[in-house]
Amino acid sequence: MNALVKSWRRGDPMVWFTGSALGICILMIVGLVLVILTNGLSFFWPKALTQLTLKDGSVLMGELASSEPIPNPGHPDHLQKQRLLVRVGNRDVYGFDFKWVPEGDIAKQERPRDAYFVERREYGPLLGTPVRVKQGDKILAEGAAAVELALPGLIARAAEDRSAIERIEKHEIGDINYEIERLRLESRALDLAASRGQDVAEKRADVERATAAQKALFQTKTDELAQLTERVAGTWVAFVTADGQEKELRSLDIYRSYAANQLTLLGRLSVYGGRLWAFFIEGPRESNTEGGIFPAIFGTVMMVIIMSIIVVPLGVLAALYLREYAKQGLLVRIVRIAVNNLAGVPSIVFGVFGLGFFVYTVGGTIDALFFPEALPTPTFGTGGILWAALTLALLTVPVVIVSSEEALAAVPRSMREASLAMGATKFQTILRVVLPAAAPGILTGLILAMARGAGEVAPLMLTGVVKLAPELPVDGFFPFFHFDRKFMHLGFHIYDVGFQSPNVEAAKPMVYTTTIFLLLIVVLLNLTAIVVRNRLREKYKTGAF
């Protein structure tokens, strides 16, 4: 008893309490990372294809996704039997991707050697055995072995053809469309000018001539595209599904295929790497359930960068005024409290403000003043990357102000005095001595702001993020950066893929994979800022900082 009291007085239990609290925190964080990593990284791993013959004679084939006990409340076999979730694919044939199969119904399990997993443009994967390749009416290969030989070449050609088609569709025809739209707006502007009594006949003739030329060009390119598509679309690959249905697939629509049950470890790794890379560099397909997330990565990074460019000068200037110029008193104290509280306002509130102020008021005014020819279609008067970045800048500016103020306050008085005694003005002192000395602390504020900004989703949904943005906010058209464009964002993409997609079961693993990328990007952005800060610190290393 005495020993227990002594131990209590010494504070031993406190050590245990605090230690356990820390331990729990670490466990939770490690658990979070592990859950995301295991779920996300296993998504691309090619699984074996299993063919199941059921007791009623029906046959199905697919990847075994998971298994669970069958609930049957009130009966003795409640949770006693297992059922398997099989990813059967072939949504165009069956109408579903996944199927539950009670374990008891399975008569036979096997892994057919020729079973193929085919990634294609639409309807999710196709699972089946290849039977023939034909071009028009001519059969190029017959039988699984022959088709297997032909497939890699076909797929490589398909990739080339697709990029050729995309080049014409997106770039050449896209450019023409962009030009036609620009001319339409110009002609509209001329209408407006004419209604004000200006003589626009000459310009109008120019515009009309240019439009006619572009339209002719458009026709040529469309014909060219039609010819190309005609030429490359003639090759078909036929597969037969496990239950004997034959399905023909244009070779052009095949993205990747592999014989899942023949893959060696190296083969699996190469499929895995290829899928991961494609996920990184490709745009999404099939309402975001297939394809990659590159536009979302691009949008996230660009938005964070724009936000940083806005928030740092704003926050640092505000902090400079508060710390260096303002007369310290009640008013400054109130402002400081208000700034601190701003950091605690729910982010959706900022979103509402951004929508009401930036998008409708500021954007609407800009449209009325500078883009009257496009009205009633809004240019800046609708959500866009600039408004989203501004809203997030507003959301994160308190963080920057607070840490900048602390950094400024930490610059020793003796250093300011030295500068002033040299005959520097206050402004020169701040610019040349105080700000450089405070730079590492200011960067710490930026790091915190970026970490918060990159992870926000709610305000973005109101101010410019969309499910699918056809164009990146940066392209080859003047002025290259299109701040009025809507964009994709990883945070929103996670929500969209996980909960808004028509095929939730198939898209679920993508939630984790996208999360990994979001985490990676936040870490990378932060690392960059941390490296810059450490360089600055290293440069003027001293005991004072």
- Output the CA–CA distances (angstroms, integers) from residue 187 to 195, 205, 216, in the order listed: 12, 10, 18
**Residue placing its CB nearer to another protein in the complex, 259 or 408:** 408
* DSSP 8-state code for residue 474: B
Rounded CA separation 362/378 (Å): 12
Rounded CA separation 172/13 (Å): 73
Using rule CB under 8 A, residue 325 touches another protein: no
Among 54, 420, 451, 468, the residue binding another protein under the rule CB under 8 A is 420
Torsion angle (degrees, nearest 10) of CA 55, 61, 65, 66: 10
Rounded CA separation 250/165 (Å): 15
- CB of 412 vs another protein, minimal distance in Å: 7
Rounded CA separation 416/408 (Å): 11
Residue 91: both structure tokens together: 């949504």
Rounded CA separation 275/259 (Å): 15
Among 34, 213, 410, 422, the residue binding another protein under the rule CB under 8 A is 422
Using rule CB under 8 A, residue 305 touches another protein: no
Using rule CB under 8 A, residue 313 touches another protein: no
Residue 388: both structure tokens together: 């989203």
Q: Are 84 and 50 in contact (CB under 8 A)?
A: no
- CB of 320 vs another protein, minimal distance in Å: 15
**Residue placing its CB nearer to another protein in the complex, 246 or 417:** 417
Using rule CB under 8 A, residue 412 touches another protein: yes
Binding piece for another protein, criterion CB under 8 A, among 191-199, 252-260, 277-285, 537-545: 537-545
Among 51, 404, 419, 463, the residue binding another protein under the rule CB under 8 A is 419
**Residues in 141-180 at the binding interface with another protein, rule: CB under 8 A:** none
Binding piece for another protein, criterion CB under 8 A, among 275-283, 361-369, 415-423, 468-476: 415-423
Q: Are 420 and 429 in contact (CB under 8 A)?
A: yes
Q: Are 130 and 238 in contact (CB under 8 A)?
A: yes
- CB of 420 vs another protein, minimal distance in Å: 7
Rounded CA separation 485/466 (Å): 10
**Residue placing its CB nearer to another protein in the complex, 2 or 542:** 542
Q: x/- contact string, 439-478, with another protein (CB under 8 A)? A: ----------------------------------------
**Residue placing its CB nearer to another protein in the complex, 14 or 326:** 326
- CB of 161 vs another protein, minimal distance in Å: 53
Rounded CA separation 199/106 (Å): 82
Task: Residue 236: name the closest of 151, 358, 146, 162 by CA.
Answer: 151
Using rule CB under 8 A, residue 418 touches another protein: yes
Residue 73: count other Cβ atoms within 10 Å of its Cβ.
6
Return the bridge partners of 127, or none: 117
Using rule CB under 8 A, residue 436 touches another protein: yes
Among 2, 195, 264, 414, the residue binding another protein under the rule CB under 8 A is 414
Residue bearing tokens 């996670």? 494
**Residue placing its CB nearer to another protein in the complex, 418 or 520:** 418
Binding piece for another protein, criterion CB under 8 A, among 1-9, 116-124, 264-272, 433-441: 433-441
Among 73, 244, 376, 423, the residue binding another protein under the rule CB under 8 A is 423
Give the binding site for another protein (CB under 8 A).
Answer: 412, 414-415, 417-425, 428, 431-433, 436-437, 539-542, 544-545
